[in-house]
């Protein structure tokens, strides 16, 4: 079992930056998937950035603007968001999982990001 808690969300103007953090209650090094998802009002939750088996991937909509990273010593993963757009407005969730596992899959509570134009 692992607890995840996102922080760093808030209100920012278009073109601004935010850095989201996801703090884990214990080591997340054993999880081979770490990702950031977002869910805008009325829309499905979507994967925006991930580290899967050590490889970083990004949704086309955020590529070049967002960077996912982790600090193993702090049991924390991050999402650096630059050049924010109003379309980025959503609740952002972090997730860690063992790929192909139906049980080793954990979510944070989410943090709101609102980008004004």
Which band of pLDDT confidence, cut at 50, 70 and 90, is reported for residue 18? very high
Exposure of 15 by Cβ count < 10 A (0-12 exposed, 13-18 middle, 19+ buried)?
Answer: exposed
Question: What single DSSP character describes residue 31?
Answer: -
Output the pLDDT for position 40: 98
Residue carrying structure tokens 């808030």: 10
Extract the tokens encoding 86. 């109003």
What residues pair up with 4 in beta bridges, in sequence order? Answer: 24
Residue 101's pLDDT band (cuts 50, 70, 90): confident
Instruction: Express each pLDDT in 32-86 by its tens digit.
Output: 999 999 999 999 999 999 999 889 999 999 999 999 999 999 999 999 999 999 9
Q: What is the pLDDT of residue 100?
A: 82
């Amino acid at each position: 079992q692992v607890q995840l808690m996102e922080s760093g969300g808030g209100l920012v103007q278009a073109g601004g930056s935010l850095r989201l953090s996801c703090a884990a209650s214990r080591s997340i090094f054993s999880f081979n998937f770490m990702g950031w998802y977002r869910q805008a009002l009325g829309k499905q939750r979507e994967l925006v950035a991930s580290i899967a088996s050590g490889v970083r991937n990004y949704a086309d909509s955020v590529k070049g603007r967002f960077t996912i990273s982790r600090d193993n010593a702090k049991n924390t993963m991050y999402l650096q968001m630059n050049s924010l757009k109003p379309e980025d407005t959503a609740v952002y969730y972090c997730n860690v999982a063992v790929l192909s596992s139906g049980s080793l899959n954990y979510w944070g509570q989410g943090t709101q990001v609102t980008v004004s134009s």
